[in-house]
A and B are shown apart, each in its own frame.
Chain A
Amino acid sequence: MIEVNNLVKVYRSKKKEIVGVNNVSLNVKEGEIYGIIGYSGAGKSSLIRCLNLLEKPTSGHVKIDGVDLTTLKGDGLRKARLKIGMIFQHFHLVSSKTVYENIAFALKAAGKTKAKANKRVLELLDLVDLTDKKDQYPAQLSGGQKQRVGIARALANNPKVLLCDEATSALDPSTTKSILNLLKDINKKLGLTIVLITHEMEVVKEICHKIAVMQNGEVIEEGEVYEIFSNPKKPLTRDFINSILQFDLPEQLIEKRKGTIIKIQFKGEIAEESVVSELFQRYQVKGNILHGKIEYIQDTPLGIFIMELTGEASEVKKAIDYITSKTRSLEVVHDAA
């Protein structure tokens, strides 16, 4: 649905050149929720703004639904944008227009008649659950409600693609959750392709299918969310994952322990199997869980446990071998011997 090829965006000022996006190529399939994560200044905002040509790429191509946007100009580009919705961190609603008028504006842009627009606005208000706020001004709404208006406006012309520029970064956690659920819903119901940029791994974990990690204008790692979470390759990716899967034990605690401390990661179905209880039945070891968590990423469990094993050294070794064979992911944090 979205094909980005060798996209480069350079900002030129009198004194220097800043490379915002450095030779990025991406492929987003239809119906996918694609997350781009990175710290501020990583170029993710430039990248998403290049997708609907709010920023003109310095070089490279952006194809959406088979149309190369970089070849379009004027009215052609304007018409293409009707099919690409966009929502923003600070909502960007027209403050002098009511909720209804803000949404109707998008339909007017598409040349819809008043009657047709009216019907569609009411549908959209129902979709984002704001029917009772239709005659209010944006200043009277909460952040979450404003973003819902933004979403309704973005969806007005039945776009194929929705771009979300830090859409939840200005919202509190519970509002973030409700907006994410709404996006997830829309993705399922309408089969809408969604590209979102964020600096919060929580957002990615919650709704994305695929993820790209950006640093210094480049995509340094890309893949299925579950794969990235369970097997991150780059330090930055690990940083982001650690931000929600924090598994560091205090140094003192580790030193005080007499047994062998191991960190086990259970992926997918294995997380649901009873590997641990099997372990204690088979080997003469005692286990003590120091830390543990099961995260559900795209409804697939990812479990991480830190355990202390005590017993005969040979039994502990056998136990470790057993877990390694089952999970293929075991790290000895502290060896008793």
Chain B
Amino acid sequence: MMLLESLVQLMPDINKAFFETLYMVGISLLVAIVLGLPLGVLLFVTDKGLFLENSVVKGVAGWIVNLIRSIPYIILLVALLPLTNLLTGTTIGPTAASVSLSVAAIPFFARMVETSMREIDKGVIESAIAVGATSWMIIKDVLLPEAKPGLVQGLTITTISLVGYSAMAGIVGGGGIGDLAIRFGYYRYDNTVMITTVVVLILLVQVIQLAGDSISKKVDKR
């Protein structure tokens, strides 16, 4: 009875935290698509043997991506506080947390994009070159559609990683489910909150994975 009562009492908090998490993940996902997708395409098409081969661009872009990806998120989060303050005017709350989440998501998704494009049969790209297509046409009409199932999978993995990262943002008062877990569950030793937040996160991840898989299958024409 105690459990149910405290749960009901917590409902508004959990509800608010849930939407904060969706908000943070949503923003950083959007940024990942807007900036990470082109970056991933750039990493792919400048690779050796491809139609925009450029070892300098590939080297520099690859190096930056690796640099950001090698920093543990929790450190990135703290290191980016000045930038966060500059961009959002604050360092707490879900909007502030979105900044470091976005920075982490861009190179992560970019590598996902690059990997999914590597799966494309080189012959198909070649046939587009032979037909006289421009580089832009090859990217838009061959690479992106052919990589679509892989891109959806990559986006799913990125989303799930972001849900995990967003929980860490709770440490600096980022809001969201992770924040709730830390404040109530960890500092106040409230197991009910702890378990509830974990259950919510599990469900969220399951739903994201299921949705990702089904969309990926739907767009796959191979």
Contacts and interface: CB of A to CB of B under 8 A. Distances in A.
Interface stretch (B11-19, B83-91, B127-135, B164-172): B127-135
B72 interface: no
A264 interface: no
A322 interface: no
Contacts of A108: 133, 137, 141
Interface in B4-40: none
Interface string B172-183: 000000000000
Contacts of A95: 124, 146, 221-222
A109 B142 contact: no
Interface stretch (A36-44, A82-90, A255-263): A82-90
A90 B126 CA distance: 12
A180 interface: no
Give the secondary structure class of A's interface. Answer: mixed
A81 B130 contact: yes
Contacts of A97: 141, 145
A154 B219 CA distance: 26
Nearest to B127: A92
Contacts of B132: 78-82, 106, 109-110, 157
Interface in B117-174: 121, 123-124, 126-134, 137, 141-142, 145-146, 148
B123 A109 contact: no
A320 B123 CA distance: 56
Contacts of B123: 88, 90, 92
B129 A81 contact: yes
Closest 3 CB pairs of A and B: A92-B127, A96-B145, A82-B132
B141 A92 contact: no
A94 B142 contact: yes
A105 interface: yes
27 contacts: A54-B126, A54-B129, A78-B132, A79-B132, A81-B131, A81-B132, A86-B127, A86-B131, A88-B123, A88-B127, A90-B121, A94-B128, A94-B141, A95-B146, A96-B146, A105-B128, A105-B133, A109-B131, A109-B132, A109-B134, A109-B137, A110-B132, A138-B221, A139-B221, A154-B131, A156-B131, A157-B132
A176 interface: no
Interface in A58-94: 78-82, 84-86, 88, 90, 92-94
A153 interface: yes
Contacts of B148: 96
B137 A93 contact: no
A259 to B, nearest CB: 57
Nearest to A75: B134
Nearest to A89: B123
Interface of B: 121, 123-124, 126-134, 137, 141-142, 145-146, 148, 219, 221-222
Nearest to B149: A96
A237 interface: no
A193 interface: no
A77 B185 CA distance: 65
B167 to A, nearest CB: 36
A96 B145 CA distance: 6
Contact of B124 (A54, A80, A94): A94
A105 B221 CA distance: 17
Given A108-B141, A139-B222, A94 B130 contact: no
Contacts of A157: 132
B146 to A, nearest CB: 5
Which has the most chain A C-beta neighbours within 10 Å: B124, B130, B222? Answer: B130
Nearest to B135: A78
B143 to A, nearest CB: 10
A78 B127 contact: no
Contacts of B222: 95-96, 139
B98 to A, nearest CB: 32
Given A92-B121, A95-B222, A137-B221, A86 B130 contact: yes
Interface string A235-262: 0000000000000000000000000000
B193 to A, nearest CB: 46
A93 B121 CA distance: 10
Nearest to B129: A54
Contacts of B221: 95-96, 137-139
A166 to B, nearest CB: 12
Which has the most chain B C-beta neighbours within 10 Å: A92, A150, A154? Answer: A92
A52 interface: yes
Nearest to A105: B141
A78 B129 CA distance: 8
A106 B137 CA distance: 10
